[in-house]
Amino acid sequence: MKIVNKNNFKQSMSKFATGITVVATNYESILYGKTINSFSSLSLSPPLVLFSLDNKSSKLNIFKRSKIVSINILSKDQKTISDNFAKNDPSWNKINYKILANGNPVINDCVSNLDCKITNKIKQGDHLIFICKVNKVYNNNKLNPLLYFNSKYFSR
What is the reported pTM?
Answer: 0.94
DSSP codes joined into one string, the chain: -----HHHHHHHHTTS-EE-EEEEEEETTEEEEEEE--EEEEETTTTEEEEEEETT-TTHHHHHH-SEEEEEE-BTT-HHHHHHHHSSS---TT--EEE-TTS-EEETT-SEEEEEEEEEEEEETTEEEEEEEEEEEEE-TT--B-EEETTEEE--
Domains of the chain: 19-149 (2.30.110.10)
Q: What is the pLDDT of residues 29-70, one digit of tens each?
A: 999 999 999 999 999 999 999 999 999 998 999 999 999 999
pLDDT at position 156 is 59
pLDDT at position 155 is 64
Which residues of the chain carry a pLDDT beneath 50? none
* Residues near 38 by beta carbon (within 8 Å), at least 6 away in sequence: 51, 52, 53, 127
Task: Report the percentage of the chain scoring pLDDT > 90.
Answer: 92
